Structure 1
């Protein structure tokens, strides 16, 4: 066996060869990882035609799995200016299948309390790191609380579908057939239709010009209407849903990156903070209600990011 990869969780992976076939052995400690959900969802998603690992053997008590190998090339490694249209087209096609066909029965609801807990990661980890001591001012706290309420309302007013929750370039594998291979789906929920789309197109690990992002996003919208996931009446709200959903995700992700560094000894994730927060500052010019957040980040947070590494 050879080490295959590591991710932001406590899971570890090894690649092994057996009878001419490459397989993946997974060590996923049951006290921290949701292995039952992974096994259940793997069966569900394969049944609707998505390319996810097949479960070949499992020891649930000890958190060991043997699964099929989706290859070694992540989307992150395959994406270029020339390949992006084709690769994102494949990914959006898979996402439409997930949204249109995957059942939501038994999935946790991405409800207001869930969304609020995720937004608290920004406060508890990133803001605590860059603004220690007194922290935010009362006016800043009021601004953030108002924003969080708006972001939660934005998520809940959208059509609710099966949401992967980490549908991005490090969890999608570039495959010769059945592209993309999809990993890390055990935390799926029933939630807003734009969540996975913004995870894909406003990725914390790779960014694209906004014009291309919007072309891909509207391509998803058209397919979603054809598939019955959305209706033509949603067109006027779709872009706002998409952009504000991205604000929620990027605030959460920024907090998680700091937590990975400070709690889990993974400082490599801090290099993704400027891109992740940059998505937020860029929206300040397009949405007046986001201008206070953009100003707060530019004046109070971004200049202090180097302090997180100290």
Structure 2
């Protein structure tokens, strides 16, 4: 987490001369984050190397969310040629850690997160690309591309066709802003009591059930089934078939992405999440709407290559 070479000059140009640059976080992409401290003022420096990351969608979606009254980090300064953006600092009270420290707050915080989605879904999606069949299929394709060879399996025919059949009823839905990575590690509890949003640069226009799945079938932490059911009822009504379809599609994608992070990017820590993701996927595949996809999985991926394969796995 060495700061980018261009960071001091960038900060000097924008009135943050002499600021400390402290490691804050990295994520599953090439982006890195640093806390910038100057006197009693702090900001967050996002380092998104332009050869790997296009920061323009982040700025566009931030503007969209601000216009709707939601808390995305305010942009203080930017230099897209260097891939540097200085952002408002939302502090350290991330949803996941706050709940871990005080489990009694789990239900009220999840209720607030569902309320935010309910409010967001009252607004049109705006000028965002569609979450359509092309995107669904491209994402689902990460499973045969990365997971199957990693566990020593061939890829039988029929995968794309099974997803096309299952997803057809919802693939044209462009009704709401889909943040796409809305979960407990990307939601901040702000001092004013509202929720701050992070990691929304991949937002698309799609189905309202997707971000509910992202929140309630969280790859990184256990969400008790009773809490999941209560939050779906709180949002209500939710199309159960759409929720299962998008849960299956998302969890299949995640299994591929986490395998890729291990194999290609040298980030094996994500493998520890695979059993949880498999548990979600197995539950989603049990819905009748997933019948063609379940049939493919049953034929192509034996039980010993699913969740059990990753228990105690060491890369």
Stretch of structure 1 that moved more, 40-49 or 60-69: 40-49
DSSP-derived class of the 2:180 partner: coil
Give the Å deviation of 1:221.
1.9
Tell me the residue number matched to 1:116.
137
Residue ranges of structure 1 left out of the alignment (5+ in a row): 223-234
Q: Map 1:1-310; keep pairs closer than 5 Å.
A: 1-79=21-99, 81-101=103-123, 103-105=125-127, 107-132=128-153, 135-136=154-155, 138=156, 141-142=157-158, 144-156=159-171, 158=173, 160-222=175-237, 238-287=239-288, 289=291, 292=295, 293=297, 296=301, 298-305=303-310, 309-310=314-315
Q: Residues 99, 303 of structure 1: CA spacing in aligned structure 2 closer, same or farther, 3 A cutoff?
A: same
Deviations 1:147-189 (A, max 9, x none): 3124422432546211111111111112232432100111111
Is contact 1:151–1:248 with CA below 8 Å preserved after alignment?
Answer: no
| Greater percentage in helix | 1
- In the aligned structure 1, how far is the partner of 2:42 from the partner of 2:181? 25
How much does 1:31 deviate? 2.1
Shift of 1:98: 2.3
1:90–1:58 Cα change, 3 Å? same
Length-normalised TM-score, structure 1: 0.85
Contact 2:131/2:174, CA 8 A, preserved across alignment: no
In the TM superposition, what whole-angstrom CA distance separates every residue of 1:204-254 from its partner, at most 9, and x where no partner exists?
Answer: 0112232321110121125xxxxxxxxxxxx6xx11111221000000011
Runs of 4+ with >4 A deviation: 306-310
SS of equivalent to 1:82: helix
Structure 1: distance between partners of 2:125 and 2:308: 44
Q: Over aligned residues, Cα RMSD in angstroms?
A: 2.3
Equivalences, count: 289
Distance in 1, matches of 2:248 and 2:230, equals: 19
TM-score (norm 2): 0.84
Inter-partner Cα distance in structure 1 for 2:146 and 2:64:
35
Alpha-carbon deviations, 1:14-45, whole Å to 9, x = none?
A: 11222412211111112222211111221221
- For the structure 1 residues 249 and 151, does the alpha-carbon distance in structure 2 shift closer, same or farther, using more than 3 Å as the test? farther
The answer (yes or no) to whether the contact 1:204–1:276 under 8 Å persists in 2 is: yes
Matching residue of 1:228: none
Structure number with higher relative contact order (C-alpha < 8 Å, ≥ 6 residues apart): 1
In the TM superposition, what is the alpha-carbon distance from 1:66 to its structure 2 partner?
0.7
Matched residue of 2:236: which SS? helix
Change over 3 Å in CA distance of 1:272–1:154 after alignment to 2: farther
**Aligned equivalents of 2:125 and 2:282: distance in 1?**
36
